[in-house]
Amino acid sequence: MSAPLVSVIIPVYNGERFIAEAVESVLAQTYPHVELVVVDDGSTDASASIVERYEGVRLIRQENQGDGVARNRGVEESTGELLAFLDADDRWRPEKLTLQVAYMADNPEAGHVLGQMWSFLHEGMERPSWVNPATVETAMPGVLPGTLMARRSFFDQVGPFDTSFETAADSDWLLRARQLAGAPHVIHEVVLERRIHTTNISGKAASTVEIMDLVHAWAQRKKAQASS
């Protein structure tokens, strides 16, 4: 059986500071069968021109419409049997894809698998107030797109990222995946290095509100299902 192709999608919007590290962490993967698609979401900085320097990386440009739209566009434009996502300000450990492809091969019932993440402060930055000090520079479960690998068939079952969310489309997708298939499969190895910096979406008030509303709605649906 031939090794499956993994389509990696990176959405980027004005990410010139970090996009090179993200791209290079994909190109440095020990797993060789990779298709890298970067969707430039209307950047006004040098993000696109930086991506163009890398041979074999497919760059798609669109008007600014948000991460959810960009990720969905990357899925539509890619061809791999397996899907993986990386934010433009984060980076992968070199064995990320190798570990998760092997897990999917050994567990054919798994529609998706997550991994561990290691959060670190960008050089010279003090810890923001919204970041729990216990979560910095330690391995933690990574319930984020950057640790995710999904079979395309499972992604299609769950459906695309909900573009009505400003910042929580990824959380919504993961909750829908859990509702469909139960608790996600998780490997114990760190696969994602998550950068904490001054413009993280995670630190925005809108993100916190959206996630709280999302979790509340999901809990209400679970309660309604249990009582029916």
pLDDT in tens, 73-130: 999 999 999 999 999 999 999 999 999 999 999 999 999 999 999 988 766 555 555 5
- Mean pLDDT, rounded, for 37-52: 98
- How many CB atoms sit inside 10 A of residue 141's CB? 13
What per-residue confidence (pLDDT) applies to 214?
A: 47
pLDDT reading at 1 higher than 70? no
Residue 136 is classified by DSSP as B
- Across 180-214, b (16+ Cβ under 10 Å) vs e yields ebeebbebeebbbbbbbeeebeeeeeebeebbeeb
Read off the tokens for 184.
Answer: 């996600």
Report the pLDDT averaged over residues 17-24. 97
* DSSP per-residue letters across 13-32: SS-TTTHHHHHHHHHT-S--
Percent of the chain with pLDDT over 70: 79
Helix, strand, or coil (residue 213):
helix
Q: What integer pLDDT is reported at residue 199 of this predicted model? A: 61
More confident residue, 48 or 118: 48
Only one residue has tokens 């899907």, namely 83
Closest by CA position to 162, among listed 154, 176, 173: 173
Helices then strands, each counted (H, E), the chain? 7, 9
Q: pTM, whole model, 2 decimals?
A: 0.86
What number of other Cβ atoms are within 10 A of residue 14's Cβ? Answer: 17
Write down the pLDDT at residue 102: 98
Hey, is 221 helix, strand or coil? helix
What SS3 string covers 87-127? CCCCEECCCHHHHHHHHHHHCCCCCEEEEEEEEEECCCCCC
Distance CA 210, CA 205 (A): 9
Alpha-carbon distance of 173 to 169, in angstroms, equals 6
- Residue of 18, 16, 34 lying closest to 26 (CA atoms): 34
Q: Above 60 in pLDDT, residue 206?
A: no
**Is the pLDDT assigned to residue 221 strictly greater than 60?**
no
The CB density around residue 43, as the number of other CB atoms within 10 Å, is 20
pLDDT at 228 over 70: no
Contact between 43 and 14 under an 8 Å Cβ cutoff? The reply is yes
Sole residue written with tokens 């997708």: 173
Instruction: Please answer whether residues 89 and 125 qualify as being in contact, where contact means their C-beta atoms are separated by less than 8 angstroms.
Output: no
Residue 54's Cβ-count burial label (10 Å; 0-12, 13-18, 19+) is middle
pLDDT value of position 121: 73
